[in-house]
Chains A and B, each alone.
Chain A
Amino acid sequence: MRHFSILVVDDEEDFVETLVSRLKKRDVDAIGVRSGEEALENIKSREFDVVIMDIKMPGGMDGIEAMRSIKKEHPQTEIILLTGHASVETGIEGIKFGAFDYVLKPVKLEELLKKISSALEKKNTKE
């Protein structure tokens, strides 16, 4: 697997922090932010391979909104949505708007990594 970059967007600090640490430990170039606005700030300066984004974030823009802005800026970036609502409707809705996939919280890193590699595969075939 070639070196790749991931942006984690979630309002839950502990979650972002830990996930980023674990990804880094696996030699992933990972950065964590706490809101949609922050995420947009970050993608201005660089492009990420994959963005992992919580759909529901209190205050400001929600995940779907942020995703659409990112997609506009970097169509190549794949986005995996996270949802704490054990409901799938919003996830499916996200896919309609261009997300690669969605994952229900709580999720194990292994599962998440599988989705990431699928996303990368898709991205690579496109390129």
Chain B
Amino acid sequence: MKTAIYVRFQQKIIITCLLIAFIPLLLTGIIIYFQFAGMYQDKIEAQMRYRSRAQAESVDLFLQERTAILSSMADTHLFDIILQENKLAQIFKIMNQRAGAFTDLGVIDASGMQRAYVGPFNLKGYDYHSQHWFAEVMSKGLYISDVYMGYRNIPHFIIAVRRQENDSVWILRATIDSNIFEGIVRSAQIGRTGDAYIMNREGIYQTPPRFNSKILDRSSIDPNLFGRGTTLLGFERGDKHPRLFAGSWLANDKWLLIISEEKAEETKGLVNTRNIEIGVMAIGVLIIIIATIFSTRQTVHQLESADLKMSRMNAQLVQSDKLAALGKMAAGIAHEINNPLAVIIQKTGWMEDLLEEEEFQNSNNIQELKKSVKKIEAHVERARKVVHSMLGYARRMEPRLEDVDVNDTLHQTIALLENYARLNNIRITMESMEDLPIIASDQGQLQQVFMNLLSNAIDAVGKDGIIRVTSEKTTFMIIVRIIDNGPGIPKEKQKKIFEPFFTTKQEGQGMGMGLWISYTIMEKLGGSLTFVSTEGRGTTFNVNIPIIIPEKK
């Protein structure tokens, strides 16, 4: 049974312990997480920047190679020779062998006319002088176009170089295979959500992105947000799947290579780590909670039982103090009552003496008078007995120390009461420990204690029951238990049962001295008398007799 005070105490300790344990744990966990998250984020970003830069460089290299081979072909051939279709086809073949990815090759003269052509489209004789790229290459000497549809009406881009030969000028122009170029760009795609593409300064896709858009569409991302070198951007845009973009401008400064990934995919590792951390923390928290509750419970339980023991001892101390005070008071009262009783007895005796005289013999009321005097004497006797029993038994004598066999004494006492018990259909059983030592004690007084307890037990059981008597030995004590299955002693009366004149029996059946006397006897013998009683279950009296080894005679 736990009282509220211990429950509250336990709760307080548990809460305090948990707070003390959790606050540093949670702080450590949170700090580690954010530290880790920051490092992870930095690393992811650095990786994306690096990939973007590396991819841009490889695209640059691709374009440089193509440009270089185209320039060298233009530089090493004369206009007259290169116009020969078979010669041009041979050059085209060499270029594809050396570098690859060329779709076609054409020679255009200064007026913009395509004079020779090798490739899948029949573009010989087309006039390019009004086209943007033509003006550009004529003025700059080298031009790489954006992707456009052109005459062939499919997306492509061209590389063109101008050749100055004496006074005349001509152009060698090659188209790059879109598929191969797109493949190179796309090789930077990673994962489920990764994307890689190129757009120009106007935001027009130069290679198709992986999701939602086609080549030559306008991107929703403003390429001017990306600064020189490599820039990392994250667009939330209220999107369910926010993405990260790493953009690097190519060497030609008009194409932007973008690598993008969903943030969630980027941080998947981080989320996993966080989940593991939360899991580990949860297990730790659980262990702390269990350990705290368990150890607190045990501590509080120990405390409670220590308190209980202490309060029991206190109660016992108070009890014996109270009884000692009562004993002193009773002795005083006895003296004060015995003196007047002594006078009364003498006075009645005197009256009887006088009534014997002749002059009274003739009185009509002589018999009534004598009867009254006798009655007074009878009641004085009654009062005397009360006073004597109050102290008399217990104070009859200093205990005599004699050799006592406790089991024998018990048997004798039970034998005395057996008839009385049998009349009420009560069985008295005796479970005695063999080999109890013979001790030095007062057999008569012990017998009186057993007698009191047993007759109380019989009265308590009333009819039809069992009284168990046991004896056992501990280091310093012989313990006799008298266990009845009677109705038990009500809790509110338990405190008072050792007080003199306290009785639960009906009027006239007991004076309430038995337990008081037994208690004082046991104190005098250096032992004690205790009891445990549960209402409805019965009462057990423990007679604790000190083991005093008799002196050898």
Contact = CB atoms under 8 A, between A and B. Distances in A.
Contact of B343 (A15, A88, A109): A15
Given A22-B353, A86-B391, A106-B338, A14 B398 contact: no
Interface string A76-87: 000000101111
B344 interface: yes
B476 interface: no
B334 A22 contact: no
Contacts of B338: 84-86, 104-106
Nearest to B395: A87
B395 A106 contact: no
Contacts of A109: 346, 349
Interface of B: 331, 334-336, 338-339, 341-347, 349-350, 353, 380, 384, 387-388, 390-392, 395-398
Contacts of B336: 84
Contacts of B353: 22, 25
Given A14-B343, A106-B342, A88 B349 contact: no
B349 A86 contact: no
Given A85-B331, A86-B338, A86-B395, A22 B346 contact: yes
A53 B430 CA distance: 51
Interface in A13-29: 14-15, 18-19, 21-22, 25
A73 to B, nearest CB: 27
Given A12-B342, A106-B341, A107-B345, A84 B350 contact: no
Interface of A: 12, 14-15, 18-19, 21-22, 25, 56, 82, 84-89, 104-109
Contact of A18 (B339, B346, B395, B398): B346
B81 to A, nearest CB: 155
Contact of A88 (B342, B345, B380, B396): B396
Q: Which of A86, A89, A104 has the most CB of B within 10 A?
A: A86
30 contacts: A14-B343, A14-B347, A15-B339, A18-B343, A18-B346, A21-B350, A22-B346, A22-B350, A22-B353, A82-B342, A84-B335, A84-B338, A84-B339, A84-B342, A85-B331, A85-B335, A86-B338, A86-B387, A86-B388, A87-B395, A105-B338, A105-B339, A105-B342, A106-B341, A106-B344, A106-B345, A106-B380, A106-B384, A109-B346, A109-B349
Nearest to B390: A86
A25 B355 CA distance: 13
List 8 A-B pairs, minimum CB-CB distance, nearest first: A84-B338, A106-B341, A18-B346, A105-B342, A106-B342, A106-B345, A105-B338, A84-B335
Given A86-B388, A87-B391, A106-B384, A19 B346 contact: yes
Contacts of A15: 339, 342-343, 346
A88 B395 contact: yes
A53 to B, nearest CB: 13
Contacts of B339: 12, 15, 84, 105
Contacts of A25: 353
B334 A85 contact: yes
Nearest to B384: A106
A15 B347 CA distance: 8
Contact of B350 (A18, A86, A87): A18
Contacts of B345: 106-108
A34 to B, nearest CB: 14
Nearest to A111: B345
B375 to A, nearest CB: 15
Nearest to A11: B339
Contacts of B390: 86
A64 B338 CA distance: 19
A82 B346 CA distance: 14
A87 B330 CA distance: 11
Q: Which of B336, B350, B380 has the most CB of A within 10 A?
A: B350
Contacts of B395: 86-89
Contacts of B350: 18, 21-22
Contacts of B334: 84-86
Given A18-B343, A105-B339, 10 more contacts: A12-B343, A15-B346, A18-B346, A18-B349, A22-B350, A82-B342, A84-B334, A86-B338, A89-B398, A107-B345
